[in-house]
Amino acid sequence: MAWKTTPAIRRPGMPSNNPLAMENQAMKDMKMIQPLSEAPYDTPLAYQQATHASLARRLQGLGIEKGDLVTRMSEGENASSVRVKTPVGEAVLAAGMAAKIIIHHDDGHKTPVSEMQAGEEGHVEGLVCGPGLEKGLEKLGIRENTRITMLRRLPSMDYIVLKQGLRLILTDGQAAKIWGTSQGREMQLAVAGGGVPFEVTKLLGGMGATATFQQNDIAPGVMLQLESVRPVPRTTKGRGVEKLGVLQAQSGLRLYLRPDMEAAILVSV
């Protein structure tokens, strides 16, 4: 006697065993997950993962877990260099540097340094940057759990320096990333005195920041001399400013991300 088989019944919502249907569903799921750099603005997104392990750890340290809602903000960064007080003294932070340092304020809320108001204090909760800038910030006394006080925002300035008889014009952001010695003291070019020799010993930042100095042959060992500092002409404001994307977490914390970081964060709509 032959056994009579009954076709399996698939209820609505149950996964199909049809290979073609499964492949189509997989492709549909893949389309839903996309890099943050390609995601729509001002729309709730679900954070999935970061393809760079170090970035994933930094986001997790700031309380952003898989499945959390985030938003890619259409507003840009209000770029401005700032002067802050750290455990080793005062430091000037370029707009991009300040945006990547997350502060836990004494009243409990968190913001990047770039959003702090004069007089506000807190400790460093985390850094959203690469290892190059992280090492550079250590030179300024900035690392996780150190205290920072916002002193003031700085107007956009040009730094005119002499290098082997040539006059160069550097942005305030570039001057903040040049570390060296002058009159026996270590400091940033941005806080150096005028008319005295300044020997470059380190460029603060990753490969991208270092590359911006190559066209002027500024590297460790080079001697510079600050000639003057002047306000940026209106026609050139905004030049040389690092373009950062804005990611807002459910908590309200906003993170300012380089394009490569936006591309490394995967989200779903």
Range of the domain at 145: 77-155
Helical spans, DSSP H, in the chain: 19-32, 53-61, 95-99, 131-139, 172-176, 207-214, 259-264
Q: Which residue has the tokens 């300024």?
A: 140
pLDDT of residue 15: 52
Is 142 within the bounds of a domain?
Answer: yes
Q: Are residues 81 and 71 in the same domain?
A: no
- Per-residue pLDDT reduced to its tens digit, 81-137: 899 999 999 999 988 899 999 999 999 999 999 999 999 999 999 999 888 889 999
Is 9 within the bounds of a domain?
Answer: no
Is 19 within the bounds of a domain?
Answer: no
Is 220 within the bounds of a domain?
Answer: yes
Q: Are residues 146 and 116 in the same domain?
A: yes
pLDDT of residue 95: 86
Give me the residues of the chain with pLDDT under 70, please.
1-31, 75-79, 234-242
Domain boundary among 122, 155, 188: 155
Q: Are residues 66 and 85 in the same domain?
A: no
Q: Are residues 174 and 148 in the same domain?
A: no
Q: Are residues 148 and 161 in the same domain?
A: no
Q: Measured between alpha carbons, how far is residue 63 from residues 70, 251, 269 in Å?
A: 12, 9, 20
- CATH number, domain of 262, equals 2.30.30.90
Domain boundary among 118, 133, 155: 155
Q: Are residues 143 and 81 in the same domain?
A: yes
Number of domains in the chain: 3
pLDDT of residue 18: 65
Q: Which amino acid would we find at residue 22? A: M
Q: Are residues 86 and 149 in the same domain?
A: yes
Rounded CA-CA distance 160/176 in Å is 13
Yes or no: say if 206 and 133 are a contact pair by the CB < 8 Å rule: yes
Q: Are residues 95 and 143 in the same domain?
A: yes
Is 11 within the bounds of a domain?
Answer: no
Is 214 within the bounds of a domain?
Answer: yes
pLDDT of residue 173: 86
pLDDT of residue 2: 46
Q: In terms of residues, how long is the chain?
A: 269
User: If phi over 0 gives left and psi between -120 and 50 gives alpha, with beta otherwise, what is residue 230?
Assistant: beta
Is 236 within the bounds of a domain?
Answer: no
pLDDT of residue 16: 53
